[in-house]
């Protein structure tokens, strides 16, 4: 029976709890008295409670995040009712700010705010020695990364085989974008590179294929970025997949010359574009050279095999619908393989709240605290933007309509074409979940021909190729008899690990 139980509720099974592994790695002599157990937000709360209580721990350390705050609150309420003697210690970004107003904080014995890698171990030593700190809220000092034990040896073989393996070479961000918690995490700090690469080598030796770097600005320091890219380039193997978060307007020649050497489908860059509106960017303290961003995108699309996942935020202070529409079209023209349209979230602790009055920002009181209306976007506008984001996932990000979509918006704005389709589909179906591809194909054909006036003979072969690109052999009813048999490209599996890039191969024909 462990004295210390480290646990959390992950969003899904494939998501490893990176923070728990840091805490466990830094427990020192207390590791032998500790256990790490992960659950998901979809697990039965009573079964989770039973699993915790049955281990009879003295201390439970729980990681709290925006995706698990509500079930975590219910879990701790039940645990303290059943076993009030168990000491509950909370940590994580969701309980690191505005702590006193949160019900889960009132239920817990202690809360560690900030980076708890070393502070949690120190607290546990005191508690197990019978010394109870006077303060419930413990503000962790920012640790020197040289002093932190790396967590990578605590990924299990099952983790490596079936789950996302998170790694980081640095912490912090040099920018001050007000919607992001990283705006509070200045300056950027680097882990000792030799130790990090040695730990990465051990993961490779154990068969790890996919690495998701959580560094907020991987390409900030070209020297470190080059060393890491060269490390993987020297160890290239089939199935290797690397995910990095990149600063969009920083891609010097020293990095470009390495990036072009990677085979297709190995590198995925998550690029936070967020807005193209310079006035909005200035309002939220965001610095971005949009011309350099465009140049970098063109380089990546034309000269490399990098898969670009670009983020765009709707509902930023001062950004109206026309401005967001222009930004979406501008980003689409740069041809990233995926565009993630997300609505602004009011994360606890972020400076974005300074605009609440002037920009009439109203947010949902429940996680994930999405914006509900602004001075320039009504609740109806934002409701339609949510549906638009879901429709874009179904049509664009899915890779299922790579030929059909350009025909839909030919000679007109892609955003406003899809906006019209969003309204039309919502009137027809009243939902954007659980729509089979066959049904979606038939609806796309009907909308294109009846509402946009597209020629059925031109549309049919494109739509059929899109429908059958994933390996299907049937023909939707709306396409039968309208066109002679067309050549359909054979289904081609991505060279990357299927769990990491399930959709890349379907994006290959997007113009």
pLDDT of 501: 45
pLDDT of residue 443: 96
* Burial status of residue 293 (CB atoms within 10 A of its CB: 0-12, 13-18, 19 or more): buried
> What pLDDT score does 437 carry?
95
Say what the pLDDT of residue 487 is: 55
Identify the pLDDT of residue 446: 97
Max CA distance (Å), the chain: 81
What residue ranges do the domains of the chain occupy? 4-144, 155-377, 398-511
* pLDDT at 495 (0 to 100): 28
Secondary structure of 89-155 in the HEC alphabet?
EEECHHHCCCHHHCHHHHHCCEEEECCCCCHHHHHHHHHHCCCCCCCCEEECCCCCHHHCCCCHHHC
- Residue (of 314, 286, 270, 94) closest to 178 by Cα position: 286
Cβ proximity of 264 and 495 under 8 Å? yes
Contacts of 391 (CB under 8 A, 6+ apart): 418, 421, 422, 425, 432
Q: What is the pLDDT of residue 481?
A: 75
Q: Do 258 and 229 meet the contact criterion of CB atoms below 8 Å apart? A: yes
Q: By three-state DSSP, how is residue 277 classified?
A: coil
Structure tokens given for 220: 């900030």
Other beta carbons less than 10 A from residue 387's beta carbon: 17
Mean of per-residue pLDDT scores for the chain: 93
Q: Are strands 59-63 and 4-10 parallel, antiparallel or unpaired?
A: parallel
Which residues 6+ apart lie within 8 Å of 455 measured at CB?
A: none
Q: Are 377 and 344 in contact (CB under 8 A)?
A: no
In this structure, the chain runs to a length of 511
pTM of the model: 0.91
Span 155-377 CATH architecture? Alpha-Beta Horseshoe (3.80)
Beta bridge partners of 242: 211, 267
pLDDT digits (tens, 9 = 90+) for 36-56: 999 999 999 999 999 999 999
What's the CATH number of domain 4-144, 3.40.50.280, 3.40.50.300, 3.30.70.920, 3.40.50.1220? 3.40.50.280
Q: Per residue in 396-419, pLDDT tens?
A: 999 999 999 999 999 999 999 999
pLDDT at 493: 33
Contact of 124 with 30, CB cutoff 8 Å: yes
CA dihedral 419, 420, 422, 426 (to 10 degrees): 150
What is the predicted pLDDT for the residue at 496? 32
- From the list 42, 149, 140, the residue with the least C-alpha distance to 89 is 140
Give the separation between CA 74 and CA 142, rounded to whole angstroms.
30
Angle at 94 between CA 89 and CA 97, to 5 degrees: 90
What is the side-by-side order of every strand in the sheet holding 338-343?
A: 165-167, 210-213, 241-246, 267-274, 307-314, 338-343
CA-CA distance, 418 to 432, in Å (whole number)?
14
The list of the chain residues with pLDDT below 50 reads 484-485, 490-503, 509-511
Four-residue CA torsion sign, 442, 443, 446, 449 = negative
């Amino acid at each position: 029976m462990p004295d210390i139980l480290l646990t959390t509720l992950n969003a899904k099974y494939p998501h490893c709890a990176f923070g728990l592994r840091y805490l466990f790695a830094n427990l020192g002599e207390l590791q032998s008295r500790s256990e790490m157990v992960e659950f998901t937000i979809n697990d039965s709360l009573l079964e989770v409670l039973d699993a915790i209580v049955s281990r009879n721990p003295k201390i439970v350390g729980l990681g709290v995040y925006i995706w698990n705050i509500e079930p975590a609150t219910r879990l701790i309420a039940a645990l303290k009712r059943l076993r009030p003697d168990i000491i509950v210690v909370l940590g994580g970004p969701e309980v690191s700010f505005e702590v006193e107003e949160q019900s889960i904080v009132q239920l817990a014995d202690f809360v560690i705010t900030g980076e708890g890698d070393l502070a949690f171990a120190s607290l546990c030593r005191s508690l197990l020695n019978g010394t109870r700190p006077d303060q419930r809220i413990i503000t962790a000092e920012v640790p020197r990364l040289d002093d932190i034990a790396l967590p990578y040896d605590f990924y299990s073989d099952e983790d490596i085989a079936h789950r996302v393996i998170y790694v980081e070479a640095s912490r912090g961000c040099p920018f001050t974008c007000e919607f992001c918690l990283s705006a509070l995490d200045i300056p950027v700090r680097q882990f000792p590179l030799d130790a990090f690469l040695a730990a990465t080598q051990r993961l490779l030796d154990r068969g790890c294929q996919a690495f998701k770097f959580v560094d907020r600005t991987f390409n900030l320091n070209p020297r470190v970025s080059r060393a890491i890219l060269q490390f993987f380039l020297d160890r290239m193997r089939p199935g290797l997949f690397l995910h990095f978060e990149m600063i969009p307007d920083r891609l010097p020649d020293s990095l470009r010359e390495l990036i072009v050497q990677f085979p297709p489908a190995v590198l995925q860059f998550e690029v936070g574009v967020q807005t193209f509106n310079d006035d909005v960017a200035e309002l939220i303290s965001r610095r971005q050279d949009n011309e350099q961003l465009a140049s970098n995108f063109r380089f990546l699309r034309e000269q490399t095999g990098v898969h670009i996942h670009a983020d765009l935020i709707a509902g930023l202070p001062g950004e109206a619908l026309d401005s967001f529409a222009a930004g979406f079209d501008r980003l689409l023209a740069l041809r990233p393989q995926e565009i993630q349209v997300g609505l602004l979230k009011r994360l606890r602790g972020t400076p974005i709240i300074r605009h609440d009055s002037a920009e009439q920002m109203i947010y949902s009181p429940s996680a994930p605290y999405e914006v509900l209306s602004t001075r320039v976007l009504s609740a109806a506008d934002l409701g339609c933007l949510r549906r638009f984001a879901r429709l874009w996932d179904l049509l664009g990000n899915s890779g299922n309509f790579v030929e059909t979509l350009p025909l839909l918006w030919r000679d007109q704005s892609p955003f406003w074409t899809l906006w019209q389709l969003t309204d039309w589909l919502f009137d027809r179906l009243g939902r954007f979940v659980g729509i089979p591809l066959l049904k979606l194909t038939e609806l796309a054909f009907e909308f294109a021909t009846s509402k946009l006036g597209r020629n059925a003979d031109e549309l049919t072969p494109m739509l059929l190729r899109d429908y059958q690109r994933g390996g299907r052999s049937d023909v939707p009813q709306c396409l039968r008899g309208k066109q002679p048999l067309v050549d359909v490209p054979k289904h081609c599996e991505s060279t990357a690990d299927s769990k990491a890039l399930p959709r890349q191969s379907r994006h290959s024909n997007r113009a």
